[in-house]
Structure 1
Amino acid sequence: MVKRFILLFAFLIAGAAYSNEIPSKVSSVTVYSDRALVTRISDLALNVGTKSCTFTKLPASLIESSVRIKGAGTALVRIGDVDVRNVHLSTVQDPRVVELKNKIQKLVDEDQGLEDQLAVLKSREEFLKSIKLVAPTEISQQLYRGKINISTLRLTLEFIGKETEKIKTVTRSIKKRREEIERQMDAIEKELLELTPKKALEKKQVTVELEVIKAGNYHLELSYILRDASWLPVYEIRAYPEEETLELAYFGEVKQKSGENWQGVNLVLSTARPALGAVAPKLSPWYLNTIPSRKMARPVEKQSRNMMAQIDLETMEIPPPSQVLTTGLSVNFAITGLKNILSGEGSKKILITRERLPAKFSYVAVPKLSPHVYLNAQVENSTEYLFLSGKTNIFIGTDFVGKSHIGNIPPRDSLKVSLGVDEGIKVERKLVQKFKEKTGLFSKKEKVSYIYRIELQNFKSRPIEINVYDQIPVSQNKEIEIKDVAISPQFSSKQENGILRWQFVMQPKEKKKITLGFTVQYPRGRVPTGIF
């Protein structure tokens, strides 16, 4: 197993030397949706004359045209030429690769130690086997001569049996651990192959020429944009209905595979899109022309099999199209404290803010479609932050409810959150009567009457506001009529598609009933579609 990594280790040994190399560290990073702006600093003590300073071991994904140099200090310096070039290294410098290499070495050392233990156990087992082979003859002679007794013989045999079993147990344990080591090394090897593509040995370096007019200290700053970095907004929403509040935790999910570690940096998450450029696009002429006509097949008009409208549990209307919100040119989130973002470590959640906001909680029941009551919350974004579109995990208190997605929510705008089923409120819908009216022999019409009853009960210890939705059928054929509509209590609103809404405030333990009745009249012998 050790041999399989000889080639892999071949390019993980030895380093590269640079002339005029200066020490530097990453001080701040601004992460965009698909790249990052990195600032490196180096503090120098300069003497009068010309000095060439080289920032080494920079990521290969550095965009050369983005390089900027500036400086300040007690020294008087004129910045001259700046040179950016690729450097092919004799070793992989990615910190994650180095970390994985060290893990492999530890696993190799452990496996070698286990192999040595197996060799010792095998020698002991062979020794015990040799005793068992010569024991029968030797024991018979000793018993015959009276030099050993049965008790001593029994103890000897028990010792051999226990030692043999112990050796087998330890051997099985060692083999199991070696199999686990094999699996771990396979996984590390795969990750190493992903982190070390053909350009893994390529880095960049930036050399700047300084003309020092007056000696002194100088703070040199290099900034550059690199790829292989991004961030996405994610959220955790925790609802507290009893307190009528909602806690929203706003995170940035940051990841980078640049090959350099950002340790102890000032981090900014930005909504700017530097990849789009700063110049507005120009329109091209929009020309129209004709093409030879073709005979088009007439579309077949299709009639819905179901007369009942689809009900949106949250808004009860067709949602508007997505909108792009703009607040100035961009929004930047300066993160509090110094952060560590390591190359290749996967996504890291960085807290932007955590806000506790007053919320209005209400319930929605659509008993025709679901036997459950759903809890909704509406909250105003009273913070200074723009909540960007992103995934969210939803909790009621400490209980996980599910996953969802929110759109862009600017300050002073409202956010609606669906919080799932609340078992503390019960709803049931029953068909209590279905009656087909008998008509005369010569009548050309048939009638079917329906009566439904909806029953609700609030088992919670506080008043709740609830919206209940149901519907009456809507005829799409002049030969079908909806008659004798009887609804109690009166609905709060009605849509043209027949959807009804009742809004109640229910006290603790209170019960409510809704009765809904109607008659469908249609031509004899022609059963209408959508009837139920």
Structure 2
Amino acid sequence: MSTPIHLPVIKVTVLEDRALVERGGDVVLPAGPQRLRVEGLSPLAVDRSLQAQLTGGTVAQARVSRIWKEKPREGARERKTELRRRVEDLEAEWKRAQADMQRLRARLEVVNVAHEDVLRAIAELSGVGRAKPESWHEQLETVRKESASTEEALRQSRKHVEVTRQRLVEAQATLAQGELPEPQLLTSAELEANHPSGGTVSLRVTYLVPCAVWRPAYRATLAPSENGETVALECEAVVWQRTEEEWKDVELLFSTSRPTLGASPPRLVEDWLRLRDKSEQEKHTVEVSVREEVIQTTGEGGASQTESMPGLDDGGEALTLRAPHRVTVPCDGEPHRVPLFQFRAPATSELIGYPEHSPLVHRVARFDNTGPSVLLAGPVDLVRSSGYVGRAQLKFTGVGERLKLGFGSEDTLRVARLVDSKQDTQRITGRRTRTHQVKLFLSNTGTRSEKVVLEERMPVSEVEAVEVKLLQDQTKPAPAKVSEDGIVRFELATPPRSQQELAFAYSVASSAKVAGL
């Protein structure tokens, strides 16, 4: 016989798509070998993940045991269910309907007897010469009306009895189905333990369960301060779990590790390299192509591809976050938010627009990650002094790294964009020059002056046969900065109720042997 023991859940580590549950507590054990049964485990517990630790003793074997047990019948409970009360009400109504039908039948028989008495009286009195036609006509009319009303009431009563009987049969069938014994799966951990001295010892059991998941979520608030502006960033963990066990007042940890992913060294295969001479066409042609290149960094302007990653983006290094207090997460499959940490950092904001993508001008704030941990990729709710302004995606950001967030658009600022391009080819050398001209129209319909930044881009050449050049004489006003990645930055001051025009031009020159442009 095994000794039943109940250990509460004291610690849960939620992984990307599962959870590591730890149960523990102090138990009193006798000395020597014995069998223990820890009850209350989740039916979804992974058998091979079960581990047990006993202080001062050993656990020779641990396995998960599952037993089906029938619940007590619903009808056997002292408290009546709503369905049983409905059956009892239908039974009483059916009995009353049958009694009313019997009463109407007896009344109809009395009316029929009265009709026969009237007819017999007419026959007897007519034979002796005492005819009363007016009185007989009145009596027959009264009996006929009474008979018709009674027959109609009897018909309605029979219909009511039949409908009530059908409802009663359906309710009884449903009640019988609901009172069938319901099987319940009881899961426990069977342990073969040995303690040399016995007494009060500490026992811990850990196991993995599926149907648990967590994702990071943030809330960023941009507010003015004495020295400028600040951003308050709150980090939370959103938890879902349907593990069939309650996590009540537990120590909660959140991990980005993937213990079930596994790793294996790559297979070594032959990779042959062969040399060949270029063809005549390849000697006189340079193949180039225009492609979109994303800057591979984190933090500000980060381009960590969270859309193509089926889970958490932790930058390639496993991370564990701990809830600052004990948490209760019910088993309902609903999202529950658990605060992790928060920090406030000084920020600098500016109005910036990307006319190539949108005619809107957004308020963008830049600040440093001064929090106690890295920021995982996840959604962030944006809040300003006016209230909630939208939701954005926060990229993976290291500690101390700078990041930027957009806090909505300014309704009074709009940018219109027009693009024109033309190509010239020299007849002698065959050199081609394509000129791109971009015109930007910035309007401010507000009542106050604003400083606005507009960013355009131009291609960057990686081969000597293609030359990209910014046309300074056709670019007005002069850009404030041109980055190595081809980002052209314009800084403008927009008076109230004004409109400005910007001109931006660049050329792409290539020799005659360049193909692909």
Q: TM-score, normalised by structure 1?
A: 0.58
Superposed CA offset, 1:359-407 (max 9, x none): 22222223455322122222211011221222334444532513x4323
Which amino acid in 1 is paired with 2:246? N
- For residues 288-299 of structure 1, the aligned pairs below 5 Å read 288-290=270-272
Taking the aligned partners of 2:455 and 2:207, their CA distance within structure 1 comes to 54
Taking the aligned partners of 2:202 and 2:435, their CA distance within structure 1 comes to 87
Taking the aligned partners of 1:384 and 1:465, their CA distance within structure 2 comes to 34
Q: Which residue matches 2:251?
A: 266
Contact 2:437–2:506 (CA under 8 A) maintained in structure 1:
yes
Equivalent of 1:68 in 52, 68, 74: 52
Taking the aligned partners of 2:250 and 2:353, their CA distance within structure 1 comes to 50
Contact 1:231–1:269 (CA under 8 A) maintained in structure 2:
no
SS in 1 for 2:16: coil
Superposed CA offset, 1:124-162 (max 9, x none): 99989x99x99xx9xxxxxx99xxxxxxxxxxxxxxxxx
Q: Which residue matches 2:455?
A: 469
Taking the aligned partners of 1:496 and 1:109, their CA distance within structure 2 comes to 76
Taking the aligned partners of 2:406 and 2:326, their CA distance within structure 1 comes to 35
SS in 1 for 2:338: strand
Taking the aligned partners of 2:333 and 2:370, their CA distance within structure 1 comes to 35
Taking the aligned partners of 1:422 and 1:292, their CA distance within structure 2 comes to 59
Taking the aligned partners of 1:483 and 1:47, their CA distance within structure 2 comes to 90
Deviation (angstroms), 1:516: 1.8
- For residues 377-416 of structure 1, the aligned pairs below 5 Å read 377-396=365-384, 398-402=387-391, 404-416=392-404
Q: Alpha carbons of 1:334 and 1:487: their partners in 2 closer, same or farther (altered >3 Å)?
A: closer
Contact 1:35–1:225 (CA under 8 A) maintained in structure 2:
no
- For residues 93-492 of structure 1, the aligned pairs below 5 Å read 109-111=81-83, 113=85, 203-212=188-197, 216=199, 218-228=200-210, 230-240=212-222, 242=224, 244-275=229-260, 283=265, 286-290=268-272, 325=315, 330-367=318-355, 369-396=357-384, 398-402=387-391, 404-428=392-416, 452=439, 454-457=441-444, 459=446, 465-470=451-456, 485-492=473-480
Q: Alpha carbons of 1:41 and 1:506: their partners in 2 closer, same or farther (altered >3 Å)?
A: same
Whether 1:513 aligns to 2:511 is no
Contact 2:33–2:195 (CA under 8 A) maintained in structure 1:
yes
Q: Alpha carbons of 1:494 and 1:70: their partners in 2 closer, same or farther (altered >3 Å)?
A: same
Taking the aligned partners of 1:486 and 1:343, their CA distance within structure 2 comes to 65
Q: Alpha carbons of 1:309 and 1:33: their partners in 2 closer, same or farther (altered >3 Å)?
A: closer
Which amino acid in 2 is paired with 1:271? T
Taking the aligned partners of 2:409 and 2:247, their CA distance within structure 1 comes to 43
Deviation (angstroms), 1:220: 1.8
Taking the aligned partners of 1:405 and 1:419, their CA distance within structure 2 comes to 12
Q: Alpha carbons of 1:90 and 1:499: their partners in 2 closer, same or farther (altered >3 Å)?
A: closer
Deviation (angstroms), 1:421: 2.5
Superposed CA offset, 1:466-511 (max 9, x none): 3213478999x99xx998943332221346897632023557x374
Contact 1:53–1:210 (CA under 8 A) maintained in structure 2:
no
Contact 2:256–2:314 (CA under 8 A) maintained in structure 1:
no
Contact 2:15–2:256 (CA under 8 A) maintained in structure 1:
yes
Q: Which residue matches 2:67?
A: 89
Deviation (angstroms), 1:234: 2.2
Q: Alpha carbons of 1:340 and 1:89: their partners in 2 closer, same or farther (altered >3 Å)?
A: same
Equivalent of 2:22 in 29, 39, 60: 39
Q: CA RMSD in A?
A: 6.2
Contact 2:35–2:190 (CA under 8 A) maintained in structure 1:
no
SS in 1 for 2:197: strand
Contact 2:2–2:35 (CA under 8 A) maintained in structure 1:
no
Greater displacement, 373-382 / 39-48: 39-48
Q: Alpha carbons of 1:240 and 1:451: their partners in 2 closer, same or farther (altered >3 Å)?
A: closer
Q: Which residue matches 2:39?
A: 56
Taking the aligned partners of 2:259 and 2:26, their CA distance within structure 1 comes to 29
Superposed CA offset, 1:413-456 (max 9, x none): 1222233422143444579x99xxxxxxxxxxxx9998945233
Whether 1:21 aligns to 2:4 is yes
| Runs of at least 5 residues in structure 1 that lack an aligned partner in the other structure | 1-17, 72-77, 138-143, 146-166, 186-191, 435-446, 523-529
Q: Alpha carbons of 1:310 and 1:369: their partners in 2 closer, same or farther (altered >3 Å)?
A: farther
Q: Alpha carbons of 1:485 and 1:377: their partners in 2 closer, same or farther (altered >3 Å)?
A: same
SS in 2 for 1:386: coil
Taking the aligned partners of 2:264 and 2:373, their CA distance within structure 1 comes to 32
Deviation (angstroms), 1:519: 11
Taking the aligned partners of 1:284 and 1:309, their CA distance within structure 2 comes to 30
Superposed CA offset, 1:3-30 (max 9, x none): xxxxxxxxxxxxxxx7311232122222
Q: Alpha carbons of 1:220 and 1:263: their partners in 2 closer, same or farther (altered >3 Å)?
A: same
Taking the aligned partners of 2:389 and 2:265, their CA distance within structure 1 comes to 49
Q: Which residue matches 2:126?
A: none
Q: Alpha carbons of 1:242 and 1:272: their partners in 2 closer, same or farther (altered >3 Å)?
A: same
Contact 1:487–1:514 (CA under 8 A) maintained in structure 2:
no
Taking the aligned partners of 1:519 and 1:283, their CA distance within structure 2 comes to 49
Q: Alpha carbons of 1:387 and 1:303: their partners in 2 closer, same or farther (altered >3 Å)?
A: closer
How many residue pairs are counted as aligned between the two chains? 428
Taking the aligned partners of 1:333 and 1:482, their CA distance within structure 2 comes to 48
Which amino acid in 1 is paired with 2:502? T
Contact 1:253–1:347 (CA under 8 A) maintained in structure 2:
yes
Which amino acid in 2 is paired with 1:489? P
